[in-house]
Amino acid sequence: MSHLIAPSFLSADFANLENDIKMINKSNADWFHLDIMDGMFVPNISFGFPVISHIKKYSEKPLDVHLMIYKPERYIKEFRNAGADILTVHYEACTHLHGTIQLIKDNGMKAAVALNPHTPINLLSDIIADLDMVLLMSVNPGFGGQKFINNTYNKIAQVKKLITEKQLNTLIQVDGGVAINNAKQLIDTGVDILVAGSAVFNSQNPIETIHLLKGLRPF
């Protein structure tokens, strides 16, 4: 599989979302990455169900919804109803992670677990076989535009090793500080999906940036 690009809407223009949705539709991006923050698990509040539903109405690509909220099991059905196709919960935010993953799958979505930068990979060993994807945070979650944490490369290699040892097809996603200057090294280390917010939406030509993140030759 060639790698996928999931632009994060946290850096989109919320006064003109339709414009950015259409831009992503016609770009080489693969998924819409939507960051949901509760002001408790992370020190920021983003947006909720009405915004997701509106994005779903216009989007022609899967919605990859990253939940940075405590006890996400309370809202699994609501996220499905709003239009999520892939639902990511944080390891650090779930007491009964196995049950939450089953609930996501029972509601017809792909299930993923995110790890904060300090959370070790070995904690995934008894859950990884149940996951469609692992999201490695390469910044402390909460805000766009932060600096990439270099230890993420070690974590990618470790999770890749775990996936290979267990003969799984779990995808690896990296989120935070991803840009054209580190995309190739991330892919070479084993990443399947790159999330990029500010690198896409704050660039002069987001369509071209997505094209370059995809590893395609410049226009």
Q: Which residues contact Zn ion by CB under 5 A?
A: 35, 66, 175
Query: Min. distance of Cβ 68 from ligand DX5 in angstroms?
Result: 6
119 binds, among Zn ion, ligand DX5, none (CB under 5 to 8 A by kind): none
Q: How far apart are CA 97 and CA 67, in angstroms?
A: 13
Report how far apart, in Å, the C-alpha atoms of 179 and of each of 159, 172, 206 are: 21, 17, 12
At 161, the amino acid letter reads: K
7 binds, among Zn ion, ligand DX5, none (CB under 5 to 8 A by kind): none
What is the contact mask toward ligand DX5 in residues 133 to 172, using x (rule: CB under 6 A)? Answer: ------x-xx-xxx--------------------------
Annotation marks residue 106 as catalytic? no
Residue 134 has, within 13 A of its CA and on its CB side, a CA count of: 33
Annotation marks residue 126 as catalytic? no
Residue at token pair 């959370």: 119
Query: Min. distance of Cβ 134 from Zn ion in angstroms?
Result: 13
What is the contact mask toward ligand DX5 in residues 182 to 201, using x (rule: CB under 6 A)? Answer: -------------xxxxx--
Residue placing its CB nearer to ligand DX5 in the complex, 144 or 190: 144
Catalytically annotated residue among 20, 30, 35, 38: 35
Q: Are 155 and 171 in contact (CB under 8 A)?
A: no
Nearest to 176 by CA among 117, 113, 93, 110: 117
Q: Are 86 and 65 in contact (CB under 8 A)?
A: yes
Residue 195 is inside which H or E element, if any?
Answer: strand 193-196
Would you report the helix, strand and coil content of the chain in percent, each value rounded to 5?
40, 20, 40
Query: Min. distance of Cβ 37 from ligand DX5 in angstroms?
Result: 7
* Cα Rg, the chain, nearest whole Å: 16
Query: Min. distance of Cβ 155 from ligand DX5 in angstroms?
Result: 16
Looking at residue 143, what DSSP letter applies? -
Residue placing its CB nearer to ligand DX5 in the complex, 139 or 156: 139
8 is an interface residue for ligand DX5 by CB under 6 A: yes
Residues that bind ligand DX5 (CB under 6 A): 8, 10-11, 33, 35, 66, 139, 141-142, 144-146, 175-178, 195-199
Catalytic residues: 35, 175
